[in-house]
Amino acid sequence: MKNNSSKINIIGLSLIVIMIVFILILSIWPIDYGIIIKINWGISLPRSYREESYFVESEPSVLGDGYRYHVFDYKKELNQEDIGKFNSEKNEEIENNIEEILNYLKIDHEKRPNFSEKYYWYTKTDNIDSHDKLYIIYIPKYNKLYVIEEFM
C-alpha cells in the first residue's frame, strides 16, 4: 500500500512540475497575434509582417466585451494575393465606426490609420455573435495593417 502511495505522489509531483514549466514557457514565449486572429475570425493575416508595432485594448469586462487595436508593420507592400478580399473604395461608414472605437480607446492620431491616404479595407461580422466585428485597414504608403476588433 505504501509503495502505491509513493508512486502516486511521484506522478502527482511530476505533473505539477510539468504544468509549472509549461506555464513559464507560455508566459515567456511571445504570442503571434496573427494566430489569435485566425482562431477568433478564421482569417489569416499576410505572414510577411515584420512586427506588431502597436497594441491597445479596452479594460477587461466580465463578458469579454470591448475593443482591441493592433498595428502590424510590413517589410514590403502587400500584393494582390494578400489583399484579394479587400475593398479599395473609400467607405465613410467604416471610417466613422473605426474612429469611434479609436476615440474610445484614446489612440493618438499618429497611431491611427490616415484615411486621407489610399487604403484597402475588409470587415467581418462574427458568425456566432453578430455584434462582434472585425475591421482590417491596409495603407500601402506606410506598409501598415490596422486591425480593429469589436466585441459586444
49-57/66-74 β-pairing: antiparallel
- pTM (two decimals): 0.75
Alpha helices in 29-111 (DSSP H): 33-41, 92-104
What the block records as the C-alpha cell of 135 is 475591421
Task: At 97, give phi and psi (nearest 5°).
Answer: -60, -45
Higher pLDDT, 10 or 117: 117
Mean pLDDT score, 1-18: 74
CA triple 107-56-129, angle to 5 deg: 105
Q: What is the pLDDT of residues 66-113, one digit of tens each?
A: 899 999 998 888 877 777 789 899 999 999 999 999 999 999 999 999
Report residue 65's pLDDT band, with 50, 70 and 90 as the boundaries: confident
C-alpha count within 13 angstroms, C-beta hemisphere, residue 2? 0
Grid coordinates 501598415 are at which residue? 144
CA dist., res. 123 & res. 102, Å (int): 16
What is the structure's pLDDT at 29? 54
Q: What mean pLDDT is predicted for residues 145-149?
A: 92
**pLDDT number for residue 61:** 67
Element (H, E) at 123: strand 120-125
* pLDDT tens profile 15-48: 888 877 766 665 555 567 778 888 888 888 877 7
Q: Is residue 2 over pLDDT 70?
A: no
